[in-house]
Structure 1
Amino acid sequence: MDFSERIKYEWNKSDNTLMRVIMINVAVYLLLATVIIIAKFGGVPILGDITAKVFFLPADISDLAFRPWTLLTYGFAHSIGDIFHIVFNMLVLFWFGQIVVSEIGSNRFLGLYIWGILAGAVAFLLLFNFVPYFTDLKNGTVLIGASAGVYAVVVAAGTLLPNVKMNLFLLGEVSLKWIAMGYIILSFVSLAGGNAGGNMAHLGGALIGYLFIVQYRKGNDWSKPIVGVTSFFANLFKRKPKMKAYKGGASSYKADDSNRQKQARAKKSTEEQNQIDEILDKISASGYESLTQKEKQILFQASKK
């Protein structure tokens, strides 16, 4: 299985929302890098301007009115000049995202992440449009990065499992609640620095992460509207099965034949799933390289279904 096939396989896994979010962030980063390189070396600065209008959230509400989609798209873009921006965000998202997914599931994780991005955008806009010191600075100021969504996930993990410990480099075992609190304090004191807008977005994401879990425990699932919208658009691109019409009175032998076909398909599907499970167990025990060529092909074919 080559690299592209591996990516396809990872993307098509069920309940794989966390990895899909990370993959989208990485893909957008590479896309932005490619466009900016072409713009610079090809002498086409307009490409850079178009990229900014698609992905960067402007602080000025009058600019936002002409590109409202940036309330969301900014959260999937990262600074090209600082690779550690995306690397650190994706590592933290992966570590804490696994904890959140294990507790509330993939769909709710997606809702949490998107709400974090939106809350970060709102906090950023409030700062630059209603706090006197910052209103004169909003012209030309933009926001990018997944940090607000990442903060939402970190704080959600700390709220869900406050006393579970994570082993941190140099610090040893630290409870999730203290890690989340550390993130919040760090962004709060950093409001006095040069990236006040970014840190305000962090705090907006952190707040929504806490509120999301509080409401979840009360039986209010804030992820439903997000999942509903994403499912609608996802279904638009799914191939619909062809419908067959039969003229009046289908005979009994046709019904029997249909039942036999259904049973045969179910049996085949079970056998295929058992085969896939055995291959995955082998990967878990001995690694991907231990698979035979036939097993790799079976895995690849399964990923395409």
Structure 2
Amino acid sequence: MLSDRPYMRDDYPRNRTTVLTWLISAIVAMFVLQHLLWRLFNADTLLDQLLGLSVANLKAGRIWTLVTYSFLHSKANFLHIIANLLGLYFVGRVLLPVLGSRRFLGLYAAAVGLGGALWLGTHWSAGTGTLIGASAGVLGLFMLFACLNPNQPMTFLLFFIVPVTLRPKYVAAGLLAFELLGFGFYEVMGAVSPFGAPLAHSAHLGGMLAGWVFFRTFHASRGWFRPSRPDVELPRWMQKTPKAAPPPVYQVDVTKREDLRAEVDRILDKINSHGFGALTEEEKRLLDEARDLLSRR
């Protein structure tokens, strides 16, 4: 029968839907639901009240909002969700085979949670505003990517037209400087951001911190406080070359015929493999003594 033939059987393992696909699908589904509630029922703030992160929600006991806020995005700015989805896809498809599903999802949740915690600490006294968006999780994943591949070239389309190639370590350093300046000069001071809508710099910094801590904990081989290998090294002619260890000194009991024959066989094998010039002075002396001893016998 056809079912008896191996190439006709349907028992081969099938590809499963990855956690990255589920994550992107959940974000898109929540964005569609936001618009449906807004357009059809005029309930544009319903999901923000249930899933968005705010001081009032946390005081009301809605602990889940520390994570669920990352599934909501601005309905008035499509660039908000498009930028997060593109970053999540391109960085996630590189990190997912390295981390695995559990660690990938754990890092995303940790970056989102730490970003939300820092945002709450920054805005706790004011008690106003609602945090939404997956930027903290995306930046946490990108920080880990930059730590794992600091010099791998990355090509961006500036304004979707001009290709620009940069190294991840420089992009991460630029993002870190931008978020620190925005956090210190605008978010903490309560000033109006020059980029229009207020940016959650504190949440972004929390996500990047989570990615760096994850790298130092699970991937850095030198531990937390040991200095890593410097990027700039001295030329070879300026470096001290370690002295080669002297060859081991050993003595062979030539009075026993079995030991002598075994040692001669080893020396002959060495000559056959590396040539007579590879022998040490001790091996040459032993070979001469063995030849004299065997000739007398």
TM category (shorter chain) comes to 0.5 to 0.7
Contact persistence 1:59–1:143 (CA under 8 A): no
Match of 1:180 among 136, 160, 172: 172
Aligned to 1:121: 116
Q: 2:130 maps to which residue?
A: 142
Measured in 2, the distance between the counterparts of 1:102 and 1:91 equals 18
3-state secondary structure, aligned to 1:143 = coil
Look at both structures and tell me which one has the larger radius of gyration over its CA atoms. 2
Which structure ranks higher in relative contact order (CA pairs < 8 Å, sequence separation ≥ 6)?
1
Unaligned runs of 5+ in 2: 1-13, 187-192, 222-297
The alpha-carbon distance between structure 1 residues 160 and 95, as it changes in their structure 2 partners (threshold 3 A), is: same
Determine the C-alpha separation between the residues in 2 that align with 1:101 and 1:15. Answer: 12
Name 2:96's counterpart in structure 1.
Answer: 101
Identity of aligned residues (%): 28
Tell me the residue number matched to 1:210: 212
Deviation at 1:172, TM superposition (A): 3.0
Give yes or no for the alignment of 1:18 onto 2:20: yes
- Equivalent position to 1:154, from 114, 125, 142: 142
Alignment-mate amino acid for residue 65 of structure 2? T
Structural mapping, 1:263-274, within 5 Å: none
Q: CA deviation at 1:163?
A: 1.4
- Cα distance, 1:13 vs structure 2: 4.4
- Cα RMSD, aligned residues only: 2.1
- The CA distance in 1 between the partners of 2:79 and 2:211, in whole Å, is 23
> Which TM-score applies when normalising by structure 2?
0.60
Give the drift of 1:39: 2.6
- Aligned residue identity for 1:180: A
Q: Distance in 1 between matches of 2:34 and 2:41?
A: 10
Q: Secondary structure at the match of 2:96?
A: helix
Matches within 5 A, 1:1-305: 13-14=15-16, 16-40=18-42, 47-60=43-56, 63-129=58-124, 135-136=125-126, 138-139=127-128, 141-169=129-157, 170=162, 172-191=164-183, 192-193=185-186, 194=193, 198-217=200-219
Classify 1:64/1:112 alpha carbon distance in 2 versus 1 (closer, same or farther; 3 Å). same
The residue type paired with residue 158 of structure 1 is A
User: Matched residues in 1 for 2:87 and 2:44: separation?
Assistant: 29
CA distance in 2, matches of 1:168, 1:162: 16
- What SS class does the counterpart of residue 163 from structure 1 fall into? coil
1:115/1:178 CA distance change after superposition, 3 Å: same
Q: Which amino acid aligns with 2:216?
A: V
CA contact (8 A) 2:111 2:208 kept: yes
Aligned length: 194
Whichever structure has more helix as a proportion of its residues is 1
Distance, in Å, in 2 between the alignment partners of 1:197 and 1:85 is 11
> Larger deviation: 15-24 or 204-213?
15-24
Q: CA 1:119/1:196 → structure 2, altered by over 3 Å: closer, same or farther?
A: farther
Task: In structure 1, list runs of 5 or more residues that go unmatched.
Answer: 1-11, 41-46, 130-134, 220-305
- The DSSP-based 3-state class of the residue aligned with 1:144 is coil
With normalisation by structure 1, the TM-score equals 0.59
Q: Is residue 48–residue 72 contact of structure 2 (8 Å, CA) maintained in 1?
A: no
Shift of 1:115: 0.7
C-alpha distance in structure 2 between counterparts of 1:64 and 1:100, whole Å: 35
Partner-residue secondary structure (3-state), 1:68: coil
